[in-house]
Structure 1
Amino acid sequence: MHHDNNRRLNRQDYKTLTLAALGGALEFYDFIIFVFFAAVMGELFFPADMPEWLRQVQTFGIFAAGYLARPLGGIIMAHFGDLVGRKKMFTLSILLMAVPTLAMGMLPTYASIGIAAPLLLLLMRVLQGAAIGGEVPGAWVFVAEHVPRKRIGFACGTLTAGLTAGILLGSIVATVINTTLSQQTILNGGWRIPFFLGGIFGLFAMYLRRWLQETPIFIEMQARKALAEELPLKSVIVNHKKEVAVSMLLTWLLSAGIVVVILMTPTYLQKQFGIAPALSLQANSLAIVMLSIGCVTAGSVADRFGASKTFIVGSLLLAGCSWLFYQSVGTHPEMLFVTYALAGFSVGIVGAVPYVLVRAFPAEVRFSGISFSYNVAYAIFGGLTPILVTLIMRLTPLAPAYYVLTLSVIGLLLGIYLHRDLNSENKVQGSCA
C-alpha cells in the first residue's frame, strides 16, 4: 500500500480534516464555556454563606480538575487507540465530552440538592478533561495518518486552528448571552443555554464522525501484526525519552502561549489599563481569528521548510510581536487592535507543534507517545501558567510579556535542536513511506 507522499489533498482528505476539525472545535467549546460562566456557577453551586476566597478556591479547584483529568483520560484512550484503532477512540472522545456538557446544563444547583451539586459539577468537569485529553492527540494522529506526508503540517495546523475556533465560539456565545439576557435571567437559568448547545452539537458531531474511515497506517499495522507487543506507554517511556522531552517542551509553548496571550490577556487589559470589557473582547476575538490563520500558516511552512526553520523564525516573530503588543498597549491604546492581531498571529507558531509530535513517534506507539507527552505537560504548564504570571505581576506589569519571551526562547532553542530531525524520515509513516 504505497502512499503518494507528494499528492495533493483529495476529497476524502478534506472530509476527514473537516470532520476532525469540527469535532475538535466543539470539544474545545464545551471545555472552555465553563470558564466564561465560572463566576455565575460559583454563586449557584456553592453555599451562599461561604466566604468569597473559599468560593474562588473551589471554582479554581473545579477548573484545575479539568486539567488534571487530561493525562488520565488521554493516556487510557491512547492506549486503546494504539491497540484497537484510532477511529473508535475518536468517536468515544466526543461522546465523553458531549454527555457531561449536556449534564452540566441540567445539573440541579446547591439550592435544590445541597452538597451533591458541586460534587456532580466536579465529576462532569473531570469527564470533560478526560475527553479532551483523548481528543486532541487523537485528532492529530488520525489526520496525520490519513493525509500525504508532505501535507501533515498543513493538516495538523488546520486542526489546531479548529481548536482555537472552539475558543472563539465559546467567547462569542458568552458575549451574546451576556448582552441579550439580564444578569438575573442568566442566574435563573440562562447559564444553562451554552451547555445545552455544546452537548447537542457534540452529539451531532459524533454522528458525523461515522463517515470517517480508520487510518490506512493503523489498518496496515494490523495487517502486519505490528501492533505494540507490550504496553505502548512502557515502550514510549523506555525507548523514546528524547522525543518525550521535546514534545513536552513544545506543549509548554503551545499551552502557555494560548493561555497567556488569548485567555488571560482580556482580563489583564481591563484590570491593568482600564480598557473597556467590550473593547478588550472584540480585540481578543480578532486575535483568535488571527491565531487560527497563524496556525495554518505555521503548519504549511513546516511542510515546506521543515520544523527547525519554522520554529527559529516563528519564535523570533513571537518574541517581537508579543513584546510590541504588551509594551505599546499602555502608551498607544488606539493601536490595540493592530498589535493584538499581530501578537495573535505570531502565537500561531503553535500550529507547527503537532507536526513535530506526530513525526516524533513510530506508528505503533504514536498515539500513546503524543498523548502522554502532551497531556502530562498540558496539565503541568496549562495549570501553572496563570499562577506564575500572576506572581510575576507583583514584580512588574509586563509579566505576560516576559513569560511569552521565555516561551520564545524555548521555541528558538528547540528550533535549533530540531535541526537534526528527531527521527529519520522513514520511521514516520511506518513501512508506508
Structure 2
Amino acid sequence: MDTKDPVSRRRTRRAVLAATAGNTLEWYDLTTYGFFAVPISKAFFPSGDPTVSLMLAFGTFGVSYLVRPLGALVLGTYADRTGRKAALLLTIRLMLIGTLLIALMPTYASIGIAAPVLILLARLIQGFSAGGEFGSATAFLAEQTPDRRGFMASWQFASQGFATLLAATFGTVLTMNLSGDQLNSWGWRLPFLFGLLIGPVGYLIRRNLPETPEFVEASDTGDVTTTPVRRVLRDQKLPVLLMIGALVMSTAVTYVIVYMPTYAENVLGLPSSAGFIGAVASGVALTTVTPLAGHLSDRFGRVRVMLIAAAAMMLSVYPLFLLLTGSPSLLVMGVVMFLIGLLKACYFGALPALMSEAFPTATRSTGLSLSYNIGVMSFGGFAPVIITWMISTTGNRLSPGFYILATGALSISALLAGRRLLALR
C-alpha cells in the first residue's frame, strides 16, 4: 500500500481509529475497575477487614484473566478463519455487555450475595472478550502497511495509554469534587456509564471497514487455515513462549499503574487523587511516546529499541520507588509515574509489531492472542493482589518496584533468546 496516496492515508487513519476505539473501551473499563477498587470493594465485597474486602475486589479483577486464554483460543481462531473485522465486531459487543452490567449492578446491601457473583460474571465476559481483542486488533493494524508495521501496531498500545489517561482524569475529577460518601455510593459508577458511550462509536467505525490486505491476500492464495490453534500449539510453541516472556515486564508495569491510586491512599497516606494524578502523568507519556517508539523500531529494529528501554527501566525503577516512598507528595508521585510511563512507552511501542512478526499471517491472531493473554493472566491480572499481599506480609513499601524488577529480568532474557532463536530484528 502506498502510504503517500491520499486514499491510502485515509484508509490507514480509519483503520487506526477502528482498532483503537474498541481497545480503548477494553482498557478504559479495566483501568477504571482497578482505579476504583476501594469503593467497589465496599459496594460489592463488604467485610469487617478493609484489606480483605480490597483483596476480594482485586481477586475478582484477577479471576477474569483466567478466561482470557479461552477467549484467545476461541476468538483468535475466529479471526484467523473468518477475518480480523468479524472478530473485532464480536469483541466490542461482548465488552459493552460487561461494562453495562458493572455500571448498573445493585450493591451487596440491595441484593446480597448475588451482587459479587454478578460482578464476577461481568468481569468474566469482559475477560473472554479481551482475550480476543488484542490479537485481532494487533493483527488488523500490523497488516495494514507492512513496511511501517512498528508504527501501525504501536497504536494498539497507545490506545491503552489513552484509556489510562481517560480513566485517571475521571478519577482525579471525581475524587477532588465528591465527598467520600458520594464517591462510594454512586460516584464510582459515572466512569463506567461514560464507557458505554465509547463502544457504539467504535462498533459503527469497525462495521464499515474493509478486511486487511494481508488477510485478503492469504485468503486468495489459500493460505488461511481452519485449524490455527492446532498449528500454533504444534509448530509455534517456541514463539509463543518467547513472546510471553517479552511481554511480562510491560504488563507488570501496566498493572502497577492501575494499582497506584490504591497504593497512594492505603500505603503512602496520600489522598487518592494523588494516585490518579500520577496515573494521568503516565497516561500522557504512554499515549504520546508509544507511536514514536513504534516508528523508531521500524528504523532501528524492535529488539534493539526494547532492550535499551528495558535496561533503563531496570536501572531506574528501584531509585524511583525509593524516592516516592521516602518523600511521598503529589509532585513526586507525578514525576515518578511520568518517568515510569515514559520508559514503558519506549519498551512496549515496539512490542506489538515484534509479536506480530513472530507468527505467520495464517495463525497470527491466534498466536498473538495466546501469547498475550497467557502473559497477562500470569503476570498482570493478579499483580494488584500479589503486591497488596507482599506489602501486607513484609511491610515493604517498595514491593511494586521489586515486582517490576523480577519481570524485567524475564523479559530481557526472552528478548535475547528471541533474537538468537527466531532471528527477530
Measure, in 1, the Cα distance between the counterparts of 2:114 and 2:164. 29
Query: Aligned ranges for residues 313-392 of structure 1 at < 5 Å?
Result: 313-331=308-326, 335-348=332-345, 349-390=347-388, 392=390
Report the equivalent of 2:274. 279
Cα deviations by residue, 1:307-362 (Å, 9 ceiling, x for unpaired): 22112211122123323312333456565543432222011112221111100011
Distance 1:324-1:315 versus aligned 2 partners, 3 A rule: same
> Is the 8 Å Cα contact of residues 60 and 120 (structure 2) preserved in structure 1?
yes
Cα deviations by residue, 1:190-243 (Å, 9 ceiling, x for unpaired): 3332222212321222112222211111112222222114x2111101101210
Cα deviations by residue, 1:366-404 (Å, 9 ceiling, x for unpaired): 111111111112111113433444455417443333332
> Is the 8 Å Cα contact of residues 357 and 370 (structure 1) preserved in structure 2?
yes
Contiguous gaps of at least 5 residues in structure 1: 426-433
The alignment status of 1:263 with 2:261, answered yes or no, reads no
Measure, in 2, the Cα distance between the counterparts of 1:271 and 1:121. 23
Cα deviations by residue, 1:22-69 (Å, 9 ceiling, x for unpaired): 2211221122222233333333335x6766565445323321222112
Measure, in 1, the Cα distance between the counterparts of 2:258 and 2:403. 14
Report the equivalent of 2:245. 249
Measure, in 1, the Cα distance between the counterparts of 2:182 and 2:278. 27
Report the equivalent of 1:300. 295
Identity between Structure 1 and Structure 2 (%): 30
> Is the 8 Å Cα contact of residues 175 and 273 (structure 2) preserved in structure 1?
no
> Is the 8 Å Cα contact of residues 247 and 411 (structure 2) preserved in structure 1?
no
Structure 1: which amino acid aligns with 2:35? F
CA RMSD of aligned residues (A): 2.7
Any idea what SS the aligned residue of 2:380 has?
helix
> Is the 8 Å Cα contact of residues 221 and 227 (structure 1) preserved in structure 2?
yes
Measure, in 1, the Cα distance between the counterparts of 2:271 and 2:395. 25
Measure, in 2, the Cα distance between the counterparts of 1:42 and 1:330. 25
The alignment status of 1:89 with 2:84, answered yes or no, reads no
Give TM-score, length-normalised by structure 2.
Answer: 0.89
Measure, in 2, the Cα distance between the counterparts of 1:376 and 1:382. 10
Measure, in 2, the Cα distance between the counterparts of 1:326 and 1:7. 48
Report the equivalent of 2:62. 64
> Is the 8 Å Cα contact of residues 142 and 152 (structure 2) preserved in structure 1?
yes
Structure 1: which amino acid aligns with 2:163? G
The alignment status of 1:412 with 2:408, answered yes or no, reads no
Measure, in 2, the Cα distance between the counterparts of 1:12 and 1:85. 17
Distance 1:268-1:252 versus aligned 2 partners, 3 A rule: same
> Is the 8 Å Cα contact of residues 303 and 424 (structure 2) preserved in structure 1?
no
The alignment status of 1:39 with 2:38, answered yes or no, reads yes
Among 106, 114, 117, which residue is 1:119 paired with? Answer: 117
> Is the 8 Å Cα contact of residues 30 and 199 (structure 1) preserved in structure 2?
no
Cα offset for 1:183?
Answer: 3.5
Cα offset for 1:5?
Answer: 9.1
Cα offset for 1:88?
Answer: 0.6
Any idea what SS the aligned residue of 1:361 has?
coil
Measure, in 2, the Cα distance between the counterparts of 1:56 and 1:234. 40
Distance 1:263-1:362 versus aligned 2 partners, 3 A rule: same
Report the equivalent of 2:403. 403
Measure, in 1, the Cα distance between the counterparts of 2:354 and 2:24. 21
Distance 1:14-1:279 versus aligned 2 partners, 3 A rule: same
> Is the 8 Å Cα contact of residues 311 and 411 (structure 1) preserved in structure 2?
no
Structure 2: which amino acid aligns with 1:152? R
Distance 1:402-1:115 versus aligned 2 partners, 3 A rule: closer
Measure, in 1, the Cα distance between the counterparts of 2:354 and 2:379. 19
Report the equivalent of 1:290. 285
Report the equivalent of 2:19. 20
Cα offset for 1:145?
Answer: 0.8
> Is the 8 Å Cα contact of residues 144 and 155 (structure 1) preserved in structure 2?
yes
Report the equivalent of 2:221. 224
Distance 1:39-1:424 versus aligned 2 partners, 3 A rule: closer
Cα deviations by residue, 1:238-296 (Å, 9 ceiling, x for unpaired): 10121011111122122112122x12344434555444433343233112211233322
Give TM-score, length-normalised by structure 1.
Answer: 0.87
Any idea what SS the aligned residue of 2:223 has?
coil
Cα offset for 1:95?
Answer: 0.8
Which segments of structure 1 move beyond 6 Å, counting only runs of 4 or more? 5-9
The alignment status of 1:189 with 2:214, answered yes or no, reads no
Query: Bigger shift: 358-367 or 372-381?
Result: 372-381
Structure 1: which amino acid aligns with 2:218? M
Any idea what SS the aligned residue of 1:383 has?
coil
Report the equivalent of 2:167. 170
Distance 1:177-1:273 versus aligned 2 partners, 3 A rule: closer
Contiguous gaps of at least 5 residues in structure 2: none
Cα offset for 1:173?
Answer: 1.6
